[in-house]
A = this chain, B = another copy of it.
């Protein structure tokens, strides 16, 4: 039986590893698990202490358990320390991989990153050791890989290629077992895979759900493919976000979720995902119109709630806004209405939604998308209120694509919500495009600037207008402080705001 990387404690345990008893507790529990193991041996991801008196405090390890005991321990060689990964913070690397001898077979062990040294993976060049090449000379009968590799767009085919090429390089079957589940921002999708020595995929496991199966390595034909092993990318995005909401809510003890429904597409998409994750009876939508809100906003929000079959209430923010304006009037006398007044509306909504969350124990979901969060088109302590940012790594253009995909069989998200011009409705007749470039343009620039690390000159050279590029870059840089206080957001791209992107607030570098 093959388990994922750090299966005993979950991946990533982060600074739990610095708690004085953590590593010893994981070792103790793993020994307990080993005591329950019978004839079927198991390879289980866990941590072990580094007792050399030198180096980092622990190893990222795999316990080979058989007949009641941990028979052998393998250690990870390559420790990812980029994006959301911080393994060098905790772990000492192994200087070479481990080969297990069992039942006359030589079984090579690799842990996740150990096989990510392929030329197609840009991070491979970070390392001075290639465990796959090392194993290629070790006369293996089988390679096992324990992984905790979070899903992200475009990662599926890369991962499969790595497994296939490891099999070909080592001339033996490779069984790759990946974690399933949400851990804060990270969405592990499973999709474990087994390839034979020729690199043919023998089995492809389910994506975004747990699965346990026996795979016959001697089979000449592929023996099993779950329907979700290969599916269209929008289905992956949807499944990923649904899993993320469900696991975050359940692992933090929430059964119910709550969100504001503006009548716009972002909150509609989040509501649809929440219903899939938690069930319609556990989701509440609140419409919070102001005196500015259009009739279509209220109608579209109500139609969405009907389509989803969720609990739905309308609370006008007019009284709270009026009370705030009146309270501030002596201080604000003589100043023109502007961002301060616009934000009062968003914060009145945040205040009411958080009160409902506190009163009824529902998890408030934040509905901002990645495009908005990137340029700061959102109000801190207003629409940014919430425990989980469901679509904060989904660009606005992807929000549309995903909404249309959700509607592929019947209208769940009202068509008018998809068709109308997006608006924050914080002042009369406002639309997003008063302040922002069209979303297809904005998203393309953001991908280059935020994910690609490109400079303004690089983006202009790609054909984007200098003025638009300067404006977008300025907004992204200026709003670092908002993102520092954003709710954790589910990660679906190669670079999400949050743990994996660490930009100082007070810096002034612009390239």
- Residues of A bordering B, CB below 8 Å: 9-10, 12-16, 18-22, 25, 53-56, 81-82, 86, 88-89, 125-128, 182-184, 247-248, 251-252, 313, 315-317, 319-320, 322-324, 326-328, 330-332, 335, 338-341, 343-344, 347-348, 350-352, 354-356, 358-359, 380-381, 385, 387, 452-455, 458, 481, 484-488, 499, 501-509, 511
Contacts and interface: CB of A to CB of B under 8 A. Distances in A.
- Sorted from nearest, which 4 A-B pairs have the closest CB atoms? A251-B506, A88-B88, A323-B323, A340-B358
B344 A351 contact: yes
Question: How many chain copies?
Answer: 2
Contact of A355 (B55, B344, B511): B344
Given A21-B455, A55-B127, 19 more contacts: A9-B509, A13-B504, A13-B509, A16-B503, A16-B504, A20-B454, A25-B511, A53-B125, A55-B126, A82-B89, A88-B89, A182-B506, A251-B508, A317-B327, A319-B323, A324-B348, A341-B355, A347-B355, A484-B487
A16 B502 CA distance: 8
A475 B231 CA distance: 43
A384 to B, nearest CB: 9
A365 B44 CA distance: 48
Greatest chain B CB density within 10 A among A328, A501, A504 is at A504
A79 to B, nearest CB: 8
Given A53-B125, A81-B81, A320-B324, A503 B14 contact: yes
Contacts of A331: 313, 315, 356, 359
15 contacts: A10-B504, A13-B507, A14-B504, A20-B511, A54-B128, A88-B89, A184-B505, A252-B505, A319-B326, A320-B323, A324-B351, A328-B359, A331-B356, A338-B358, A347-B354
